[in-house]
Amino acid sequence: MGKIAFVFPGQGSQYVGMAKDLYENSDIARNLIDRANEVLGIDLKKIMFEGPEETLKQTEYTQPAIFLHSVVLNRLISKVKPEATAGHSLGEYSALVAAEAIDFDDAIKLVRYRGQAMQKAGVENPGTMAAVVGLTVEQCEKVVEEAKSAGIVQCANFNSQIQTVVSGSVDGVRKAMEIAKANGAKIVKELPVSGAFHSPLMQSAKDTLLEKLSLATFNDAKIPVYANVTAKPVTKNNEIKDLLYQQVTAPVLWVDTILNLYKDGFTEFYEIGPGKVLTGLIKKIVPDANCYNIDKYEELKKYI
């Protein structure tokens, strides 16, 4: 049996009713979810449990909701222990809490602030994102280079060997979509997002987050966290802080992250949090990896 990694999902995996069953079945979950409301000064619990979906989909609520759901699950798991963690974009914050690099209160405040800053940047510098399926990473990079004549655009998420998300100005992204289709992409779909995440249009969010990151207390991680920006393991607190800052405008190197974990002996991947997006991607990146999902209380029970 290979080594165990915990991976944590990012934006897009939220759903109305998330973590409600955890709250109803566990004192630890209840305390942590109530604590989140207290720390943030908002009724995040109500938004998670009851919606409406339109509110939950707003970045400033989505990000702390997914983070909270993931961290609660991680706290409740006792029968499996990871030897490394990784998270997709926002999920990196959950991964850092799991690795004890930052405490819960500081992390959820940062996540909420990050969501607000990204939402504001999306209003100030409107942009969009699109998923491209069926082209290789190299083909996508060529598409983006060609589309730059129409506006700002870059590869934002390298999700699998044949699924890449591009991000940037509306004109830049739509030009890239057009070129991708002409180059034989199987699916090209604009995403319902509130901004051009992981692109230069998020620079103002990156700048405002820097101040909050500098005020937060980071520790050296107890286990390696494979960072989005480099796809490599990190444990040093000053490096972690810098990578979170860079992450706002840098691409998410998810393919390389999973390949590096696999190369380092990790074959057991537990997706901790809402949804099954990462499990699907990992199975595409490393087909012989063993993947497990822990989202709802029923799935969690055997690991408590």
For residue range 45-68, list pLDDT tens digits in order. Answer: 999 999 999 999 999 999 999 999
Assess whether pLDDT exceeds 90 at residue 194. no
Please give the positions annotated as active site. Answer: 89, 198
Tokens of 204: 């103002």
Give per-residue pLDDT as tens, 125-169.
999 999 999 999 999 999 999 999 999 999 999 999 999 999 999
The amino acid that residue 10 corresponds to is: G
Per the prediction, the chain carries an average pLDDT of 97
pTM for this predicted structure: 0.97
Q: What residue ranges in 55-152 does DSSP mark as E strands?
A: 84-87, 128-133
Q: At what angle do helices 91-98 and 237-247 cross, to 10 degrees?
A: 170
Assess whether pLDDT exceeds 90 at residue 26. yes
Assess whether pLDDT exceeds 90 at residue 282. yes
Q: With bands split at pLDDT 50, 70 and 90, how would you rate the model's confidence at 1?
A: confident
Average pLDDT (7-20) is 97
- For tokens 């057009």, name the residue: 178
Whole-angstrom distance, CA of residue 299 vs CA of residue 293:
7
Q: With bands split at pLDDT 50, 70 and 90, how would you rate the model's confidence at 195?
A: very high
On the CB side of 262, CA atoms within 13 Å amount to 16
> What is the separation of C-alpha 272 from the centre of its chain, rounded to a whole number of angstroms?
12
- Cis before 287 (ω within 30): no
Cβ-proximal residues to 206 (8 Å cutoff; 6+ apart), any chain: 245, 246, 248, 249
Average pLDDT (19-31) is 98
The CATH classification number of 127-190 equals 3.30.70.250
Whole-angstrom distance, CA of residue 6 vs CA of residue 250:
22
- Give the start-to-end residue ranges of the domains of the chain: 3-123+200-303, 127-190
What kind and span of H or E run contains 267?
A: strand 266-272
Instruction: Give how far Cα 132 sits from Cα of 190, 202, 247, Å.
Output: 9, 21, 21
Write the class of the CATH domain 3-123+200-303: alpha beta
